[in-house]
Amino acid sequence: MTDDITLTIDERPVTVPEGTTILQAAKSVGINIPTICYHEFCTSNGLCRICVVEVEGSRTLVPACVAKVSQDMVVRTRTPRVVNARRTILEMLNASVDLSEDENIQDLMHEYAADEARFPLAEPRQHAILDDNPMYIRDYAKCILCWRCVQVCADDAQYTYAINFSGRGYHTSISTYYDLPLTETTCVFCGQCVGVCPTGALKPKREWLMELGYTPDQIMQMTRTERKSRMRRPQASA
């Protein structure tokens, strides 16, 4: 049995079970803290930092999606320091990633008055679209490295481990082992990674082809032919 914790969030007293995150505690009293990498069915790793809040006594801002509440904690979710930090995070993301299909981030950009031209010398990440299977495409120019796809492919759901982080710093990306095509990995095409991707970086192949202007009949023809040819095994030589 867990003990209850009482804290203050934005001057409001809140009582929640021990082990609750600040994000969940705030939500329980109707206080909304923005999130990007967080997904309620994935393990939180505090990667994007958009959810940072001020906690009295803490030198640094605290990521609400991973930080647990403690007795008598005093949390402020929208101070000028918090708003500035969130705005800068959004501006940095916007400078390096194609966010055009992420409505949540678009809304946050508007809400926090993020300046799209804040970092004019930044180099947006360039990636060719990876179209290596009949089920979904990977457009990593739209990837915010939230890690959701890696986690559902691993211990959060599928236990398949087909994808993971690759590279470092600016060159970090999601990839397969040795950059192999997905058809040559352990991927079982369950689609869970596509389901949790917030940005359109992972997209069903049919949706992508529709956006390119193909008709449903053409798409059926293309993906069926592709599936057959990928499933056909090379004949053993006599």
Task: Give the binding site for ligand FES (CB under 6 A).
Answer: 35-38, 46-51, 63, 65
CB-based contact 64:23 (threshold 8 Å):
yes
Binding partner selected for residue 145 from ligand FES, ligand SF4, none, CB under the kind-specific 5 to 8 Å limit: ligand SF4
The one among 38, 112, 136, 147 contacting ligand SF4 by CB under 6 A: 147
Smaller CB separation from ligand SF4, 190 or 222: 190
Binding partner selected for residue 65 from ligand FES, ligand SF4, none, CB under the kind-specific 5 to 8 Å limit: ligand FES
CB 118 to ligand FES: min, Å = 20
CB-based contact 9:21 (threshold 8 Å):
no
Binding partner selected for residue 93 from ligand FES, ligand SF4, none, CB under the kind-specific 5 to 8 Å limit: none
How do beta strands 136-138 and 202-204 pair? antiparallel
Smaller CB separation from ligand SF4, 4 or 177: 177
What letter does residue 177 receive in the DSSP assignment?
G
Mask: binding to ligand SF4, 159-198, rule CB under 6 A, as x and -? ---------------x---------------------xx-
Q: Residue 91: in which H helix or E strand, if any?
A: helix 80-96
Smaller CB separation from ligand SF4, 19 or 167: 167
Interatomic CA distance for residues 77 and 61, integer angstroms: 10
What letter does residue 130 receive in the DSSP assignment?
B
The number of C-alpha atoms within 13 Å of 16 and in the hemisphere containing its C-beta is 23
Interatomic CA distance for residues 203 and 52, integer angstroms: 29
Q: Does 201 bind ligand SF4 (CB under 6 A)?
A: yes
Binding partner selected for residue 51 from ligand SF4, ligand FES, none, CB under the kind-specific 5 to 8 Å limit: ligand FES
Interatomic CA distance for residues 118 and 79, integer angstroms: 21
Smaller CB separation from ligand SF4, 144 or 209: 144
Q: Does 85 bind ligand SF4 (CB under 6 A)?
A: no
Phi-psi region of 52 (alpha: psi -120 to 50; beta: other; left: phi over 0): beta
Q: Does 109 bind ligand SF4 (CB under 6 A)?
A: no
CB 181 to ligand SF4: min, Å = 16
Smaller CB separation from ligand SF4, 85 or 145: 145
Q: What's the Cα-to-Cα distance from 137 to each of 96, 173, 179, rounded to whole Å?
A: 20, 15, 14
Question: CA angle 190-46-44, nearest 5°?
Answer: 40
Binding site for ligand SF4 (CB under 6 A): 143-149, 174, 196-197, 199, 201-202
